[in-house]
Amino acid sequence: MPAIDRVRAARLPKSRHMISAIVITRNEERNIRACLDSLAWVDEIVVVDAGSADATAAICREYTDCVMVTDWPGFGPQKNRALDAASGDWILSIDADERVSEALRDELRAISEDPGSAPCWLLPRRSNYCGRMMRHSGWYPDYVLRFFRRDAGHFSEDLVHEKVETDATPARARNDLLHYPMENLEDVVDKMNRYSSLAAEDKYRRGERSSVLLAVLRGSWTFLRTYLFQRGFLDGRQGFMLAISNAGGTYFKYAKLAMLWQRETTR
C-alpha cells in the first residue's frame, strides 16, 4: 500500500458545480508552480506525488492540503488514485507541464454550470517544443479528453499514454490548454527514452511483437507523417527537429519491444 503523506481532514461538500483538478507529479519543481497558479480558480486541487526527490511536494502544499505521496505504478493507475481522492462532480485532469489559459478557464466554468452540457470534453492542446508553440506537425489541435463528470469515466491502466475510458460521446472545447513538455533537447532525449521504455513494456504485456526491421520502418513512417503529411515543415526548424525526435521515439519503442522478446527467448 502506498504511504499517504498528507490528505485533507474532511472531504469537501458535494456540489454539481464543484470542479476538482487532479495532478500527478514526480520531480516537477520546475513546472508545478505555474501549473498550480493556473488552477487557482478551481474548488479543489488533488496532487498525487510519486516520491519526488526535489521540492515538488513542498510547493504543492502551498496550494492544497490534499497532497499524497505514493509509489509509482504507471500513469494510468496513478491518475486513478488521484481521481478516487477527488471530491468534485467535475474532474479536470492536468499534467504538471500544462497550464489552463484564462479563456479555457472561463469556458470550463460555463460548462460546469450548464446542466445540459456534455459529460466529457476534449480540450485543444497547444504545445511548446524547444521554445516554439507548434501549429502543425500533428501537435495542434491536439485534442485530449481532460474534463469530465466523475461518474462518466475513469483512466485506463496503461503505464504510459493513458486515456479516459468513457461510454459518452465527448464534446470539443474551443479554447486552448497550454503545454510545455520539452524546453530543450536534453528534455527531448530524456522523455523519448523514458516513454519508449514504458510503451515497449505496455506492448510486451499485451503480447505484441516487433523486430529491428519493423522498428526502422515504423520510425521512418513517423518522420514522413510528421514532417510531410502533418506539415511539420511549416513549423520551421522545430518542425524538423520534432519529426526526427518522433521518429526516434517510435524506433526505440519497437526496438526495445524486440529486445524484450529476445530476452525472453534466451532465458
pLDDT in tens, 214-230: 999 999 999 999 999 99
pLDDT in tens, 175-226: 999 999 999 999 999 999 999 999 999 999 999 999 999 999 999 999 999 9
Map grid coordinates 505514493 to a residue. Answer: 70
Give the Cα separation of 249 and 226 in Å (integer).
Answer: 13
Task: For the domain made up of 19-181, give the CATH fold.
Answer: Spore Coat Polysaccharide Biosynthesis Protein SpsA; Chain A (3.90.550)
Residue 10 has pLDDT above 70, yes or no: no
What pTM value is reported for the model?
0.85
Nearest-CA neighbor of 26 among 87, 68, 85? 68
Residue 263 has pLDDT above 50, yes or no: yes
Boundaries of CATH 3.90.550.10 in the chain? Answer: 19-181
Helix or strand (DSSP H, E) at 188: helix 185-205
Return the DSSP state at 225. Answer: I
Residue 3 has pLDDT above 70, yes or no: no
Return the DSSP state at 93. Answer: E
